[in-house]
């Protein structure tokens, strides 16, 4: 088994609010000692597919999907999940691909696209992972509430950077014990998350200004 640093919520230039190239992203992850990542661009998987081809460590193909009820993340995707569907419909499509459903930054009321609590309650039994710590969450209470929800429903949690810039990569991570000599499967990941250690380190809320400016530039 290998003990590695992992991050399951990273954006690249294929998100409208990031300028981070795939080459720069991978180099920065190597420099920060990350051994497993998921690239989860907004409504896009091209960046993850490109990264998987050049990365010396495993890259999970993910997508942060804009649903009609707020954002959900699909991991281990084979095809793009269309935006604009209900949360329940989105979950079905992710599961049909053999993917995992992760809930990004639940309860962060400062974000426009956070999933509604009513929609979350409807899909919670089909959720595989909850972000217990998101470095971009403005208030600690949002992370604490996410952890409480995960505990209530016995869902594994992750610590993620939600990186949109190279500065954010590696600042927090989920420490896993996992066998890298084999392909990383959804089952293997869920099993390893059961004994994961979260390393938490928030970024300044000012980081959101950078992503807002990026949207305007692009």
Global pTM value: 0.96
**pLDDT at position 192 over 90:** yes
User: CA angle, 78 as apex, 38 and 174 as ends, to 5°?
Assistant: 20
What's the CA gap between 196 and 174, in Å, rounded?
Answer: 7
- What is the mean pLDDT of the segment spanning 140-168? 98
pLDDT tens, residue by residue, 25-49 = 999 999 999 999 999 999 999 999 9
Beta pairing, strands 100-103 & 129-134? parallel
What's the CA gap between 211 and 216, in Å, rounded?
Answer: 9
Query: Superfamily assignment of 2-217 in CATH?
Result: Metal-dependent hydrolases (3.20.20.140)
Question: So what's the pLDDT on residue 131?
Answer: 99
136, 65, 68: which is closest to 100 by C-alpha? Answer: 65
Question: So what's the pLDDT on residue 56?
Answer: 98
Average pLDDT, the chain: 97
pLDDT tens, residue by residue, 58-109 = 999 999 999 999 999 999 999 999 999 999 999 999 999 999 999 999 999 9
Classify 66 as helix, strand or coil. strand
Would you list the domain boundaries of the chain?
Answer: 2-217
What's the CA gap between 79 and 44, in Å, rounded?
Answer: 10
**pLDDT at position 208 over 90:** no
What's the CA gap between 177 and 194, in Å, rounded?
Answer: 10
**pLDDT at position 201 over 90:** yes
pLDDT tens, residue by residue, 123-152 = 999 999 999 999 999 999 999 999 999 999
- What is the mean pLDDT of the segment spanning 144-166? 99
């Amino acid at each position: 088994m290998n003990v590695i640093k992992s991050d399951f919520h990273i954006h690249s230039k294929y998100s409208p609010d990031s300028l981070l190239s795939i080459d720069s992203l991978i180099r920065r992850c190597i420099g920060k000692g990350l051994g497993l990542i998921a690239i989860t661009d907004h409504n896009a998987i091209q960046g993850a597919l490109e990264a998987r081809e050049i990365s010396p460590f495993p890259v999970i193909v993910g997508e942060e999907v804009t649903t009609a009820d707020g954002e959900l993340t699909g991991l281990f995707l084979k095809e793009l999940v269309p935006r604009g569907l209900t949360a329940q419909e989105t979950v079905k499509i992710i599961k049909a691909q053999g993917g995992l459903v992760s809930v990004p930054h639940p309860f962060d009321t400062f974000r426009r696209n956070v999933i509604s609590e009513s929609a979350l309650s409807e899909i919670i039994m089909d959720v595989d992972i909850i972000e217990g710590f998101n470095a971009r969450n403005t208030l600690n209470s949002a992370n604490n509430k996410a952890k409480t929800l995960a505990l209530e429903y016995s869902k594994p949690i992750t610590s993620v950077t939600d990186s949109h810039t190279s500065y954010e990569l590696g600042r927090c991570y989920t420490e896993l014990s996992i066998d890298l000599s084999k392909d990383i499967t959804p089952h293997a990941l869920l099993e390893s998350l059961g004994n994961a250690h979260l390393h938490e380190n928030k970024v300044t809320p000012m980081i959101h200004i950078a992503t807002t400016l990026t949207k305007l530039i692009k």
